[in-house]
Amino acid sequence: MVVMSKPAMEHHCAATTLFPEIPLIDLSKPDSKNLIVKACEEFGFFKLINHGVPTEFITRLESEAIKFFSLPLSEKEKAGPVDPFGYGNKKIGSNGDVGWVEYILLTTSNEANYQKFSAIFGEAAEKFRFAVNDYVSAVKKMAYEILEMLADGLKIQPRNVFSKLLMDEESDSAFRLNHYPPCPELNQETNGMNLIGFGEHTDPQIISVLRSNNISGLQISLKDGNWISIPPDQNSFFINVGDSLQVMTNGRFNSVRHRVMANGSKSRLSMIYFGGPPLSEKIAPLPSLMKGEDSLYKEFTWYEYKKSAYKSRLADNRLGVFEKIVAS
């Protein structure tokens, strides 16, 4: 199934040069904590360099992912369906969303992830497992550091107020490998329209850490609703504020709406770590950030929000049902 988006293309082409550049954060610089706070307030998104994730972990996982996605579809489907983890193709979630994408969705805490892959890879499944574990371990460490720098920048204690939720043994985090195959028909038949690789959405978790190869496709929505393309950089990471972090900061941080457009001739590969809290964790604005303000959100557990989010369509405002109605 091919999903087109002509208005989005027109929106994007009309005004990209008028927008400020996406924040660039150098994790090795002492002033990073304040710049990260500013980026989360203004964009809910930033690019990260000097991140400390070893290049060999990135290249090894990319190589293993390419091997998997290069297999015949009938072989890959042995690792499916997504229930809730495994291999998926075009179908995103269970509510009718589709895209020009195939993917592997894994939990970050369960060795059972890899049983499906043993049937396909045999002994090579171990190599795939080690590549994922090494990469995810390094990215988690970076995510903890970012969240602790955020706490420092916000001047709140303890500084692990966010990171401890990801460090918790019960943390409900996930890892995703997305492959957007080339679509030759895009250039021939779509008359200038865009092909949706992964439809617009926000991430429900606390923080998402994205890395892709050097093929473009990622776009984010600014607060005014205009979409801008993010130039790819395979040596950097991109960080998304998730819905849960927006709530914990009482709307001070912005959960970024984003999407991926497919490419007519080149294959795009991305890897995303979604840092989530334990299922029983209550998600509510931090009292230390309220300063006499009223909460914009009803309190809920991560389990309640996750259940609600996954019943919705990708583009829905998932936080809408948890927002408090303010009397005028």
pLDDT of amino acid 302: 97
pLDDT of amino acid 27: 92
Residue 45: is its pLDDT beyond 60?
Answer: yes
Residue 191: is its pLDDT beyond 60?
Answer: no
Residue 124: is its pLDDT beyond 90?
Answer: no
Sequence-separated (6 or more) residues with CB below 8 Å from residue 171: 108, 109, 165, 275, 276, 277, 278
CA distance 123 to 281: 38
> Are 36 and 46 contacting, i.e. CB atoms less than 8 angstroms apart?
yes
Q: Is 104 helix (H, G, I), strand (E, B) or coil?
A: strand
For this structure, is 259 an active site residue? no
Catalytic residue among 60, 211, 259, 268: 268
Average pLDDT over residues 248-266: 93
pLDDT of amino acid 113: 64
Residue 85: is its pLDDT beyond 90?
Answer: no
Report pLDDT digits (tens) over 50-60: 999 999 999 99
pLDDT band for 13, please (50, 70, 90 cuts).
very low
- With 0-12 / 13-18 / 19 or more C-beta atoms within 10 angstroms meaning exposed / middle / buried, residue 74 is exposed
φ/ψ of residue 303, rounded to 5: -60, -45
Q: What angle, rounded to 10 degrees, do the helices at 124-154 and 55-69 form?
A: 130
Residue 328: is its pLDDT beyond 60?
Answer: no
Q: Specify the DSSP class assigned to residue 160.
A: T
CA dihedral 319, 87, 51, 219 (to 10 degrees): -50
Report pLDDT digits (tens) over 222-238: 989 999 999 999 999 99
